[in-house]
Amino acid sequence: MRTIDQIEPFRVMQLLERAKELEAQGRKIIHMEIGEPDFHTPESVRNAAKKLLDNDQFYTPSTGAPELQQALAAWYEQEYHVQIAPERILITPGTSGAFNMLYAVLIDAGESVLLPDPGYPCQRNFIRLAGGQPLNIPVGPDSRYHLDGALIDKHWQPHTRAAVVINPGNPTGTVLQRQSISELAKACRAHNGYLISDEIYHGLTYDTSAPCALEVDDHAIVINGFSKRWAMTGWRIGWAIVPEKLIEPCRRVMQNIFIAAPTLSQYAAIEALKATDAVEMMRSAYDERRQYLLRELPKLGFDIVVEPQGAFYIYANVSKLTEDSKSFCWRLLEQAGVAITPGEDFGVYQSNTHLRFSYATHLDDIREGIARIAAFLNK
Ligand SMILES: Cc1ncc(COP(=O)(O)O)c(C=O)c1O
């Protein structure tokens, strides 16, 4: 099969398009499908960008503006107490850019990467685009919906190059602690591969915090970005922290595939690292919504098996309500005007009996969404 024929659509976009059509017809739709913050980008970042517009916007070095690399290195020291040489921090167009770059470096035709199923859907396609093979490993409540050392040992193939952890998880919001990450890192090392830790939801954690994989293993590859924690999805800025020996091949790929991340966004992003009050305001609002949904959803028959302590998602088992979460979501959208994401977006394992609520939506809308779902279920 040709590579492009293996690339699946980002299905939630189809649901979103239908929701937009219904809105165009005058209906109010409650959006609990999309993983995009509903907050403004911190004001200090927007103000910095306005001032920066007076400057020329030429390319930065391919691996990023040195000022942002240094600011991030200082931030890692402060946030996680890890020391990272700034040149190991590669600035990319979004976290998505970091993954595309990384897989171009790590994977040759026919090589594979272990992924959790359920997991972030684009991952599989990033790997396929690099000519690789995603190995989707079913994960459930036992391992908090993450890979663990035993799963890595069981599924690692001779041509496997890496395993991915998304911590906090998407779609599950579950958080792994040091011990589990250390186990993952050890298992990957034992197979001469890499642990890739997607930390894009770091900072959005509730009653806990998520450790950076570099706290436990300097050989891990960390991927992160400004989209979620700092409400900066459209600024397209992310980064990868790679071991020293990968810097040079990464640089070559970056020079070729995107030359450099957007200059304006890179310099404005330096301000984001100081915007701790704005981040805390968003985090506590998300937490209030999370707590509301954790109380209300089980009353309606949505089972939440492992409490989500991060990101802005709740992954629920709907087997009490349906055996077909896809048609459930579509009916809910058409009849009740509430958009949520069916499990099939995140993989195949038990996807028919699961779905994901996003609470990156105002609490008033979430309340209305819950009332509409309750009315829908009583029909
Ligand atoms: C787990 C995960 N990784 C990466 C991304 C990509 O983010 P971006 O390219 O905006 O940095 C997303 C976006 O939803 C995500 O959920």
In tens, the pLDDT along 125-146 reads: 999 999 999 999 999 999 999 9
Domain positions in the chain: 3-40+277-378, 43-275
Buried b / exposed e along 261-273 (16+ C-beta atoms within 10 A)? bbbbbbbbbbbbb
- How far apart (Å, rounded) are the C-alpha atoms in residues 316 and 173? 11
Q: Give the DSSP letter string of 224-253.
A: EESTTTTT-GGG--EEEE--HHHHHHHHHH
Residue 256 pLDDT: 97
- Per-residue pLDDT at 378 exceeds 80: yes
Say yes or no: CB of residue 123 within 6 Å of ligand 1: no
- Per-residue pLDDT at 379 exceeds 70: no
pLDDT tens digits along 190-220: 999 999 999 999 999 999 999 999 999 999 9
Question: According to the CATH classification, is domain 3-40+277-378 in 3.40.640.10?
Answer: no
Q: Which atom of ligand 1 is nearest to the CA of 233?
A: 10
CA-based max dimension of the chain: 60
Say yes or no: CB of residue 149 within 6 Å of ligand 1: no
Percent helix, strand, coil in the chain, to 5, is 45, 15, 40
pLDDT tens digits along 30-69: 999 989 999 999 999 999 999 999 999 999 999 999 999 9
Residue 12 pLDDT: 83
pLDDT band at 100 (very low <50, low <70, confident <90, very high): very high
64 contacts 86 by C-beta, under 8 angstroms: no
- CATH class for the domain made up of 43-275: alpha beta
Torsion of CA 100, 102, 105, 109, to 10 degrees: -60
Atom 4, ligand 1: which residue's CA is nearest? Answer: 95
Q: How far does CA 179 lie from the centroid of its chain?
A: 21
Quote the ligand 1 centre to 223 CA distance (angstroms): 10
Q: Which atom of ligand 1 is nearest to the CA of 95?
A: 11
